[in-house]
Amino acid sequence: MTVDHEHSQRTDAASGTVAKAVRGAAIGNTVEWFDFAIYGFLATYIAEKFFPPGDETAALLNTFAIFAAAFFMRPLGGFFFGPLGDRIGRQKVLALVILMMSASTLAIGLVPSYQSIGVFAPILLLLLRCLQGFSAGGEYGSGACYLAEFASDRHRGFVVSFLVWSVVVGFLLGSVTVTALEAVLSESAMDAYGWRIPFLIAGVLGAVGLYIRTRLGDTPEFVELRDSGEVSSSPLKEAITTAWRPILQIIGLVIIHNVGFYVVFTFLPSYFTKTLEFSKTDSFVSITVASVVAIALIPPLGALSDRIGRKPLLIAGSVLFAVFTYPLFLLLNSGSLAAAIAAHAGLAAIESVFASTALAAGAELFATRVRSSGYSIGYNISVALFGGTAPYVATWLVARTGNQIAPAYYVIGAALVTLLTVLTMRETARRPLRKLVTQNERS
């Protein structure tokens, strides 16, 4: 029996559980980004509750500093959970990280205020955010590898696209939850207890996700590797020594994926209110429209990459960012709310072109023995350097230059770096992962 025929049998057997695998992998990302959104939207309440009274600006800055700390924990999580996934399996790591993530999120909603426990309040908040960042470092890479290894060769782009789709869903759910609470509860009720409710909801969502993930099996690719005794005894070392080229490629590949995403979904909502001087309601409408556009486009575009290839969409996304970001920022600053929302939606559409394909393309770069390690290391280094810092850099550029269009130049630069990276990559669509392993090991 040929290797290709054996692989075909594996993918046919796995097809019946792909939907279950998608639910299991996607729920963790939904929880993660639900938490991400609520922390940002509730920053003013957190600043008031966890820091000494008297200096609101300093308290808010400290709140965002703790927020940023989670991003710098992500590479550490990637270096830990990525190799762990190559040693014990993708499913066990997915269960472990969602347990850590949901428990720490729930705990944030239960931590007493500064008024009750003093300096221990911000210390606990910092520790819990670092734990969230650490667990998130194992979430995305493990989830991408899990779905890539369950999907058939013909539908891998479509299946893996649901991982990034779930990110946008989580962000939108967080935004809607906080906005709805602020609309229903009085200001005093939000200040007293209302701000804690979304964190408690996230804990419940995490428990549901943990239940789903503990009922999943591991991927056919990893099971075959384990059964044949070929699991790497030192996947971190093996990844760094044998897969350094694809690690560098994924770092470059996801630069515009991260910069584009964080500019569209975290920077622009505050840009709407602080720079463009629209209302909070206007900002909420705009981010909701942008999120719905992304949710609608990502799965079909992932399926398109299965038909025409990964590289055409990756090149198209990079070029679209490089060409249209500047005019879309001009449209944002035209003074018209309708035009600004249309520009925001346009940037979300461009991000969808790239993001729908990037995760599958990244997973396809690596050998099964080191796929989780290589993917997690490369992706989390890139997100720490270019993702979490993107809103800060964009805000700094506006303040430093006085030019409200300045963030566009940062996005364009990121797009060009990614475009050059994509040009170094092989086309990987519709090709068996086992065959890709052999080719990557030889290169």
DSSP states of 272-322: HHHTS---HHHHHHHHHHHHHHHHHHHHHHHHHHHHH-HHHHHHHHHHHHH
* Inter-CA distances, 34 with 208, 242, 270, 394, Å: 14, 36, 18, 23
Determine the pLDDT at residue 1. 45
Highest mean pLDDT among 12-26, 125-139, 268-282, 332-346: 332-346
> What confidence tier does 394 reach under pLDDT thresholds 50, 70, 90?
confident
Nearest residue to 388 via CA among 140, 60, 61, 71: 71
DSSP-derived secondary structure letter, 426: P
**Chain centroid to CA 368: how far?**
22
CA distance 271 to 70: 23
Top-confidence range, 160-169, 171-180, 222-231, 400-409: 160-169
How many CB atoms lie under 10 A from the CB of residue 8? 14
Question: Is pLDDT at 251 greater than 60 in this prediction?
Answer: yes
* 232 secondary structure, DSSP code: -
- CA distance readout (Å), 415 to 94, 246, 280, 324: 31, 19, 30, 11
Band of residue 15 on the pLDDT scale cut at 50, 70, 90: low
Extract the tokens encoding 406. Answer: 């300045």
For residue 342, name the pLDDT band (cuts at 50, 70, 90): very high
Task: Read off the tokens for 155.
Answer: 């539908």
380-404 mean pLDDT: 84
| Biggest CA-to-CA distance, the chain | 74
pTM (two decimals): 0.88
Task: Express each pLDDT in 293-316 by its tens digit.
Answer: 999 999 999 999 999 999 999 999
b/e sequence 223-257, b meaning 16+ C-beta within 10 Å: ebbeeeeebbeebbebbbebbeebbebbbbbbbbb
**pLDDT tens, residue by residue, 114-168:** 889 988 988 999 999 899 889 988 888 899 999 999 998 999 999 999 999 999 9
* 3-state secondary structure string across 183-220: HHCCHHHHHHCHHHHHHHHHHHHHHHHHHHHHCCCCCH
Over the stretch 33-88, which tens digit does the pLDDT of each residue have? 888 788 877 877 888 888 887 777 677 677 777 777 788 898 999 999 999 999 99
Q: What confidence score (pLDDT) does residue 4 get? A: 53
- In the prediction, which pLDDT does 438 show? 45
Calpha distance 382→254 (Å, rounded): 7
Percent helix, strand, coil in the chain, to 5, is 85, 0, 15
Whole-angstrom distance, CA of residue 153 vs CA of residue 6? 13
Task: For residue 16, name the pLDDT band (cuts at 50, 70, 90).
Answer: low
CB 356 within 8 A of CB 161: yes
CA 375 to the chain's CA centroid: 13
Q: Pick the residue with more confidence: 438 or 192?
A: 192
CATH code that applies to domain 22-424? 1.20.1250.20
Cβ partners under 8 Å of residue 310, min gap 6: 157, 357, 360, 361, 364, 427, 428, 429
In this structure, are residues 207 and 101 in contact, taking their beta carbons and an 8 Å threshold? no
Highest mean pLDDT out of 133-142, 352-361, 434-443: 352-361
Query: For residues 198 and 34, what is the distance between their CA atoms, to the nearest angstrom?
Result: 9
d(CA 351, CA 259): 10
DSSP 111: P
